[in-house]
Amino acid sequence: MTTVSHLECSGTGKTYPAGQAINLSPDGWPILVRYDLDKARDGWNRDWISSGPSNMWRYAPVLPVSKPSNIVTLGEGMTALVRTNTLGAALGAKDLWVKDEGLNPTASFKARGLSCAISMCKELSITKIAIPSAGNAASASAAYAAAAGIECHIFMPKDVPHSNFIECKSFGAHVTLVDGLISDCAKIVADRNQEEGWFEVSTLKEPYRIEGKKTMGYELAEQLQWRLPDVILYPTGGGVGLIGMWKAFEEMEALGWIAKGKRPKMISVQAEGCQPIVRAFNEGAERSTFYENAQTVSSGLRVPKPLGDFLVLRAVRESGGTAIAIPDDEALADGIELAKMEGMFAAPEGAACVSAVRRLLKGGFLNPEEKIVIYNTGAGLKYLEAYSPLFPR
């Protein structure tokens, strides 16, 4: 099934044996899963994928689970890729698409990462997990943990969308609401690790969530007949989806599935009230600094210091992309425009990418002729508190 070969420290390159419960490296760097891509290329053909399951596990040879019986799936992946003719024309983009991750289980792209992480927990006989979350990762972890019979402990800011709180409680998770940001939640999880004995599935503090999220890259390539777009805009909180797609493109090049040197420009989209990646990009820095007083209605973008910031910045720069911050009111307004014109109700995070397209076309960074793909990372129905001021009753 899997062709996983080893684990690798993203900072030092040091390797570790595959198939283990591991968080950060001893030096504090995220750990990445590596595969024997020569073996995968010899025993796996992209033309066979269509005969596989209609979910992200069709890419199982480049996912870390070794036994099919350990896969915990709720049907994640194979989300719609929709050409936005009306919106594209309004923005001045001739070939604009939206990849709608809000169609996943628990209505966000987080389902991909947690499906993979919880499957590995099952494979590694882990019975208790903990996660800090700004909302959607909590919902997904609670759902997949419930499906796997794993005890789940969630720490969320007390002002997360109410839908996330209700979801987590419905799935039977132990939920603690914290007066603070996701960084405060993460500190509680880390401080209690030893006494509680749980396995932490925080963003990039274990190697397996990124593997599920990278399937967005494989899937996009498959849906476009293995020719990548010119541009990808991705809402960036923790940034793991962007990092994962960049990893997927690297793997697909090694497999010979896509042309080398044809990767998209990766554009990191953040909220004006929380833009550590944008600030670091503009300053030419390799790492971000903590963004004080972070505020945004896009709960998934309210991450003041992403652990994988250096990987996001590396992908953006290597691709010739950029980073841009969008005000909340502009993102919400463009979310409504997307809904009116295309019948797609996006999360504010995804809506911010619509605003980014408009700004980057107007500024000349994007060309109207380019094939542009926006990732909407969640369903707008999960953000009714954010959108409700636009429609007073």
Give the pLDDT of residue 181. 87
Pseudo-torsion of CA 379, 384, 390, 392, nearest 10°?
Answer: 150
Report whether pLDDT(28) > 90: yes
Distance CA 15, CA 33 (A): 10
Contact 96, 87 (CB under 8 A): yes
Q: What is the mean pLDDT of residues 297-303?
A: 93
Distance CA 139, CA 210 (A): 17
Q: Which residues fall within 8 angstroms of residue 170, CB to CB, at 6 or more apart?
A: none
Contact 121, 65 (CB under 8 A): no
In this structure, the strands spanning 371-376 and 95-100 are parallel
Report whether pLDDT(182) > 90: no
Give the pLDDT of residue 293. 94
Distance CA 153, CA 142 (A): 8
pLDDT above 90 covers what percent of the chain?
95
Distance CA 128, CA 149 (A): 9
Q: What is the mean pLDDT of residues 227-232?
A: 98
Report whether pLDDT(74) > 90: yes
Q: What is the mean pLDDT of residues 39-58?
A: 94
Query: Of 357, 375, 371, whose CA–CA distance to 235 is shortest?
Result: 375
Structure tokens at 286: 């390799």
Length of the chain: 393
Angle ∠(267,273,279) on CA atoms, nearest 5: 50
Domains located in the chain, CATH noted: 81-105+213-390 (3.40.50.1100)
HEC letters along the chain: CCCEEEEEECCCCCEECCCCCCCCCCCCCCEEEEECHHHHHHHCCHHHHHHCCCCHHHHHHHCCCCCHHHCCCCCCCCCCEEECHHHHHHHCCCEEEEEEHHHCHHHECHHHHHHHHHHHHHHCCCCEEEEECCCHHHHHHHHHHHHHCCEEEEEEECCCCHHHHHHHHHCCCEEEEECCCHHHHHHHHHHHHHHHCCEECCCCCCCCHHHHHCHHHHHHHHHCCCCCCCEEEEECCCCHHHHHHHHHHHHHHHHCCCCCCCCCEEEEEEECCECHHHHHHHHCCCCCCCCCCCCCCCHHHCCCCCCCHHHHHHHHHHCCCEEEEECHHHHHHHHHHHHHHHCCCECHHHHHHHHHHHHHHHHCCCCCCCEEEEEECEEHHHHHHHHHHHCCC
Report whether pLDDT(287) > 90: yes
**What are the tens digits of pLDDT across the range 107-153?**
999 999 999 999 999 999 999 999 999 889 999 999 999 999 999 99
In this structure, the strands spanning 4-9 and 231-235 are unpaired
* Per-residue pLDDT band at 183 (split at 50, 70, 90): confident
Q: C-alpha 96: how far from its chain's center? A: 20
Q: What is the mean pLDDT of residues 167-191?
A: 94
Residue 38: Cβ within 10 Å count = 12
Kindly report the average pLDDT of the chain as a whole number.
96
Work out whether the CA dihedral 266, 272, 276, 279 comes out positive or negative.
Answer: positive
**What are the tens digits of pLDDT across the range 184-214?**
999 999 999 889 999 999 989 999 999 999 9
**What are the tens digits of pLDDT across the range 310-333?**
999 999 999 999 999 999 999 999
* Per-residue pLDDT band at 160 (split at 50, 70, 90): confident
Give the pLDDT of residue 79. 98
Give the pLDDT of residue 161. 87
Q: Which residues fall within 8 angstroms of residue 272, CB to CB, at 6 or more apart?
A: 296, 325, 326, 327, 328
